[in-house]
Structures are given as structure tokens and as C-alpha cells.
Amino acid sequence: MLPNSSERLFVFEGGTDGPWKVSEMEAVRGEGLPVVSAVAVRLGSEAQAAETPPVWDRGFALRGVTSNERYVARAEKDTLVARQQGLGRPEATRAALIPIRKSAAWWALTQDERRRILEEQSRHIAIGLEYLPAIARRLHHCRDLGDAQPFDFLTWFEYAPDHGPAFEELCARLRDSPEWAYVDREVHISLERT
């Protein structure tokens, strides 16, 4: 069951301090983000309560909320739940934050049209399943937060160093898919912790 939305809101703060060190920042499509050296992931409620100075004054603070799935069907969900691992595994010392914005043309499509492009044409869900349980993932929605957000989605990935090549392959396959014709801004931030 989904908790209250205030417990589903996360803030990704990019600055000079944080547990995740930036190893690379790439503007895959469209405008990039300010270059930062570290990223901290906080619950929205904690970020609002924090008394520390905003490290993202010179960096960024991206907000997103976890939510119900928009496209996954029951059979896919059951497979996902059986295979996927949670965040925070001790061996998962590599992470990636990939903010994405989709075009106005995407959002003008109807639900059946978006599902057809995402899965029947692009196999987004099926491709993702191939990389489980190695790659853990959490999707955050930004589009309907109510204040203007620079991206529509923030996806957070965690994996062990050995699975780095597999993760890069996963990203490349999705970027090659018909769905990605509707992505008009994408940044890839590679992270690691000790």
C-alpha cells in the first residue's frame, strides 16, 4: 500500500556534500544540470525540516514523488515483485540518477497509445526485467507536483560495481527504443560511494 504523499516525496540535492560522489555527469539530451561533486537523497519531509544551509544553492534540488504504476499490467507486476531487490544493498556502491523530461507530444497521447509505445513497441518493462535483480530502481514522478519542475521523472538506480557494464547496456537499449523519441531532456549522473 502506498503511504501518504508527504512520505513519498524525495529530494535529490546536488552540491559539494553528500554520501554519493559524482563520477560523471552527462547531458544525454537537451540542457544539462549544474556540475556538482556529490548528491544526497532525502525524504521531502526531512529536507524541509533540515537546518543545514541548502547545499544546492550552487547545485540543484530535484523533487519527485513515488506513486502507483502507470503502465505495468498484473502479470508484469508479479514478475517484477518476485525479482526486484530494494535499495540500500551493502554491495550496491554504484548508483545513477537519471532525470528525464518527455515532450508535449508524449503527454498529448492517450493511455493506450502511450502503453503501446512504451511496451509493445519499446519493450521498456520487459527489457528492465532482464536486468533484475542486479539493478535496483526507484521511479519518482515530478510532472504533477504543482510547482514547475524541470523534469517529468527522476529514476534512481543502484548496483554493484560488477554490474556497471550491464547497467550501461540497459541505458543504451532504452535510449535506442521508439519511446525515447519522446524524451526531450535527459541527464545521466553516475555516482559511487565507499
Residues that bind a second copy (CB under 8 A): 1-2, 4-6, 8-9, 44, 63, 65, 67-74, 76-77, 104, 107-108, 110-113, 115, 141, 143-149
**Residue with Cβ nearer a second copy (107 or 162):** 107
Decide whether 57 or 147 has the Cβ nearer to a second copy.
147
- CB of 151 or CB of 159, closer to a second copy: 151
Q: How far is the CB of 64 from a second copy (least distance, A)?
A: 9
Q: How far is the CB of 162 from a second copy (least distance, A)?
A: 32
Distance CA 30, CA 188 (A): 12
Q: What angle do CA 79, 163, 181 make, to 5 degrees?
A: 70
Q: How far apart are CA 54 and CA 58, in angstroms?
A: 9
With a CB cutoff of 8 Å and minimum separation 6, the contacts of 105 are 182
Smallest Cα–Cα separation from 122: which of 184, 166, 175? 175
CA-atom Rg of the chain in angstroms:
16
Minimum CB distance to a second copy, residue 21 (Å): 28
Shortest approach of a second copy to residue 128 CB, angstroms? Answer: 15
